[in-house]
Amino acid sequence: MSLRCRTTVCSIVAQCLVSQYEDAYIGPEQEFLVQHLDPHTDHLFRVCARGEGRTEWSPWSVPQTGYTTLAPHEWCPGSEGYILSSRRNIAMRSDSSPSKAGVLYSNAPTYFCGQTLTFKISATGQVDKQDSIGLCVGCEGEAESLQRDQAVCISTNGAVFVNGKEMTNQLPSVTLGSAVTFDMEVVNLLPVSNNNNLSDGGNFKLRVTIGSGNREVVFDWLLDQGVDCLFFGCSLAHPGWKVLVF
């Protein structure tokens, strides 16, 4: 959920009450996104502030209740070759399936345009040219990689693929500690339908920004039918990789 603080001070602390208050944000921004919240659950938030040149913080604000209806980003359990954390937001490529394990998809299409989806690499393995991390319209169970139609992805060597075709622009290689981000917005080429129903089909595109390291690429992803939510996924040929999604 998004928190907004209307103030001119230079430093803000926001806390969220779970079993006890925990810091949710510390910094100068007056609006920020709180992630990793359980959906349909009330959370209490409070903030305090400190003006420029001041050393003392203000008293805490009156607590405000907030909640989110967005489902958390989770990997799909039971996929061969991958081990998931208890919250299903971390996937590790295991050595139980030494051959290519195919694509590990999200448990549901939980990415909506306008959000930022981040993949954090907390462990690495051997690089393979078919490795991929990205977003797709649907799940293809037999696919070995997201380097296919109806998907956009980045390979661990930094190559960017759109509908299975490699772009000329390339991002830095994915290494330990890398954070790969995906941002999308809808840009219609033609009206999807007379009533603007996305499921009716038509020509429209998504403007995609993929960031990695200190670089990013921006391109238009043309689709033959409308979508309002997407699956995320990864395919990692060799064991040792660990990917956190949020």
Domains, the chain, with CATH or none: 2-66 (no CATH), 82-245 (2.60.120.920)
Query: What is the reported pLDDT for 31?
Result: 80
**Positive or negative CA dihedral for 71, 208, 75, 213?**
negative
**Helix, strand, or coil here: 198?**
helix
- Using 50, 70 and 90 to split pLDDT, how confident is the model at 164? very high
C-alpha 123 chain-centroid distance? 18
For residues 6 and 159, the model is more confident at: 159
Exposure letters 123-157 (e unless 16+ CB within 10 A, then b): ebbebbeebbbbbbbeebeebebbbbebbbbbbbe
Question: In Å, how far are 61, 62, 90, 198, 244 from 73, measured between CA atoms?
Answer: 31, 31, 10, 23, 10
Instruction: Please determine, for residue 37, whether its predicted confidence score (pLDDT) is greater than 50.
Output: yes
Average pLDDT, the chain: 86
Pair 112, 73: CB distance under 8 Å: no
For residues 221 and 38, the model is more confident at: 221
**CA atoms of 188 and 169, how far apart (whole Å):** 24
**99-115 pLDDT per residue, tens:** 668 899 999 999 999 99
Spell out the residues 6+ positions from residue 202 whose beta carbon is closer than 8 angstroms to its own.
190, 191, 192, 193, 225, 226
- Using 50, 70 and 90 to split pLDDT, how confident is the model at 18? low
End-to-end Cα, the chain, rounded Å = 13
Pair 55, 70: CB distance under 8 Å: no
Query: What is the reported pLDDT for 98?
Result: 61
Mean pLDDT to the nearest integer, 34-59: 85
